[in-house]
């Protein structure tokens, strides 16, 4: 099975070598799972990716996780192979247990302030998804722009390349999956939206810098690909295996 | 101004002595703010409570906080008097900065597992509030009971008095505000619901033990009082100052 093929109802659980390597249950286009890929890659933690078809979940996956949601991280070195869920809980756990590339500020106040900005970003994820997924989107860009103003002003005030300073930190990685997907908006027939280059000077510079980051690069998809997936999802038939089939076709040619 | 009177639009910002004591902006019946009161009390951290009328917020409050929501914690000892928001972020911050009464397990895995149970509780807070606040509640107790089964089984399996062990921990305190409010259901004309004493043997024993806890006691309100507030909120006229007026009446008598 190719690594980007998504496991489905009739599949059998993949057998991995007893190598002690973390197993991440994911979906290739899920922004929440994307967060965990970024943190694992930023910290150079080896892991197996196991992709799940969310519209036809395998029984073995439903049984092994308390919520049957992705991302789910199986800790094979711990007794009983516990499975962690919830993207922010998983990322905080990884930062605590793998301190080599620390992603939070060491000052508890600064850490709390970054966590607030991560939580607040969640509040307008809904606005972004409305734009990306609605068939006939009510183009309420005002809500999206007002949300992004917070981050534009914050980053300008910090005066660093990244929210995390000279290199991306937890806040950068936790908001990145949705920022990467903004690029899908202009490929979308219904919206064709781009971020205002005057209003978001700092954030757009940040986006270019993020695109050079090793962890971002290793799980990156361009706007056209994201738009294609969104369009399949809007049509009620999420094309989870889009990349898998494309890779197979490329091998045949 | 009595300490349980809620500040409103036309109020002026209360002047506190420059005593370095934390200032918690709260609403007496808000379960999210309740979480922060519990953690501050559990850790014996002194603080000033400042209650806010959420239907007619003071301008000075809207200006001082990034979200204008309660709970908000003003850190008067830090430069610029930063204000933290989001109940879980505030509580995690307090646990980190005031480690004297640690509320999380020291093992990062156990800590992550408790955080997952805190997050999952959030998922059925909606079901509880539907019961408590709907005028003509669709009595879908099944959802509520299925959610509580998770905590009943978890606590039974842990075999301790509290989720935190011999004394309440973060998980106990983070779910308590809603558990305290269950007692309001039986005082409510529309619902008159009590938790199934067979199904929730362990949780009901836990509830009795929690009621003996010092932090729980110091911010406790009985089911009848909660029900009265809920009923005022359902009627579109949330009676924030219910306790303040009752205390005033009692003093006059």
Question: Which CATH number fits the domain that encloses residue A11?
Answer: 3.40.30.10
Out of A50-54, B131-135, B171-175, pick the least confident: B131-135
Residue B113 sits in the same domain as residue B95:
no
Residue at which a domain ends, from B86, B102, B118: B102
Give the residue, A84 or B231, on which the prediction is more confident: A84
Nearest to A112 among B67, B93, B116 (CB): B93
Token pair in block for residue B189: 């004309």
A67 part of contact set with chain B, CB < 8 Å: yes
Residue A213 sits in the same domain as residue A131:
yes
* Spatial separation of the C-alpha atoms in residues A121 and A182, rounded to whole Å: 14
Out of A97-111, B42-56, B159-173, B236-250, pick the least confident: B236-250
- Mean pLDDT, rounded, for B210-223: 97
How confident is the model over B49-92, as pLDDT tens digits?
Answer: 999 999 999 999 999 988 999 999 999 999 999 999 999 999 99
Q: Is the pLDDT of residue B8 over 80?
A: yes
Residues of A in contact with B111 (CB under 8 A): 93, 96
Residue at which a domain ends, from B46, B71, B102: B102
Inter-residue contact B238 to B3 (CB < 8 Å): no
- Mean pLDDT, rounded, for B227-253: 89
Nearest to A108 among B66, B96, B116 (CB): B96
Residue A218 in any domain: the answer is yes
Residue B118 sits in the same domain as residue B80:
no
Instruction: Tell me the percentage of chain B whose pLDDT exceeds 90.
Output: 71
- Mean pLDDT, rounded, for B174-179: 95
Structural domain span for residue A60: 1-102
Residue B128 sits in the same domain as residue B215:
yes
Secondary structure class of B61 (helix, strand, coil): helix
CA dihedral over A214, A215, A217, A223, signed as positive or negative: negative
- Mean pLDDT, rounded, for A138-144: 70
A122 part of contact set with chain B, CB < 8 Å: no
User: Nearest Cα to A133, choosing from A195, A69, A191, A91?
Assistant: A191
* Half-sphere exposure (Cβ direction) of A151: Cα atoms closer than 13 Å: 30
Which of A98, A109, A119, A122 to mutate against chain B (most B CBs within 10 Å)? A109
Residue B127 sits in the same domain as residue B59:
no
* Spatial separation of the C-alpha atoms in residues B183 and B192, rounded to whole Å: 10
Nearest to B89 among A84, A85, A112 (CB): A112
Beta pairing partners, A48: A23
Residue B167 sits in the same domain as residue B192:
yes
Residue A49 in any domain: the answer is yes
Residue B243 in any domain: the answer is no
CB < 8 Å from A in window 143-182 of B: 150
Residues of A in contact with B116 (CB under 8 A): 66, 84-86, 89
How confident is the model over B233-244, as pLDDT tens digits?
Answer: 888 899 999 998
Residue A244 in any domain: the answer is no
User: Nearest Cα to B200, choosing from B240, B151, B238?
Assistant: B151
Residue A27 sits in the same domain as residue A48:
yes
Give me the pLDDT at residue A139, please.
Answer: 54
Inter-residue contact B118 to B88 (CB < 8 Å): yes
| Residue whose structure tokens are 């890929």 | A37
Q: Which of A30, A40, A127, A183 is catalytic?
A: A30
Residue B118 sits in the same domain as residue B195:
yes
A201 part of contact set with chain B, CB < 8 Å: no
Question: Which CATH number fits the domain that encloses residue A124?
Answer: 1.20.1050.10
Residue A114 sits in the same domain as residue A211:
yes
Residue B238 in any domain: the answer is no
Q: What is the mean pLDDT of chain A?
A: 91
> B109 and A78 in contact by Cβ < 8 A?
yes
> B89 and A116 in contact by Cβ < 8 A?
yes
Residue A225 sits in the same domain as residue A142:
yes
* Direct distance between the N- and C-terminal alpha carbons of chain A, in angstroms, rounded to an integer: 20
Q: Which residue in chain A is spatially nearest to B77 when comparing CA positions?
A: A109
Residue B250 in any domain: the answer is no
> B84 and A112 in contact by Cβ < 8 A?
yes
Strand A83-85 relative to strand A72-74, pairing:
antiparallel
Q: List, by residue number, the catalytic residues of B.
A: 30
Residue B74 in any domain: the answer is yes
- Mean pLDDT, rounded, for A79-108: 97
* Spatial separation of the C-alpha atoms in residues A123 and A140, rounded to whole Å: 15
- Stated length of chain B: 253
Residue B60 sits in the same domain as residue B112:
no
A117 part of contact set with chain B, CB < 8 Å: no
Residue B169 in any domain: the answer is yes
Q: Is the pLDDT of residue A176 over 80?
A: yes
Residue A83 sits in the same domain as residue A126:
no
Number of domains in chain B: 2
């Amino acid at each position: 099975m190719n690594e980007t093929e998504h496991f489905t109802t009739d599949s059998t659980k993949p057998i991995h070598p007893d190598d002690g390597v973390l197993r991440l249950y994911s979906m290739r286009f899920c922004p929440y799972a994307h967060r965990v890929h970024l943190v694992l890659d930023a910290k150079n933690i080896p892991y197996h990716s196991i992709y799940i078809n969310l519209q036809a979940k395998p029984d073995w996956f439903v049984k092994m996780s308390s919520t049957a949601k992705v991302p789910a991280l199986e800790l094979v070195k711990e007794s009983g192979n516990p499975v962690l869920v919830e993207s922010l809980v998983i990322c905080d756990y990884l930062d605590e247990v793998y301190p080599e590339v620390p992603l939070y500020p060491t000052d508890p106040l600064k850490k709390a302030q970054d966590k607030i900005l991560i939580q607040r970003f969640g509040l307008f994820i809904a606005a972004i998804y409305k734009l990306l997924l609605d068939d006939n989107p009510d183009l309420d860009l005002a809500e999206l722009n007002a949300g992004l103003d917070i981050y534009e002003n914050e980053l300008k005030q910090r005066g660093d390349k990244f929210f995390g300073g000279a290199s991306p930190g937890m806040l950068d990685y936790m908001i990145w999956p949705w920022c990467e997907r903004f690029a899908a908006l202009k490929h979308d027939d219904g919206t064709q939206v781009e971020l205002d280059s005057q209003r978001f000077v700092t954030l757009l510079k940040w986006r270019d810098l993020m695109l050079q980051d090793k962890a971002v690069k290793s799980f990156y998809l361009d706007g056209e690909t994201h738009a294609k997936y969104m369009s399949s999802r809007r049509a009620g038939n999420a094309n989870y295996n889009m990349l898998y089939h494309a890779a197979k076709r490329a091998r045949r040619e």
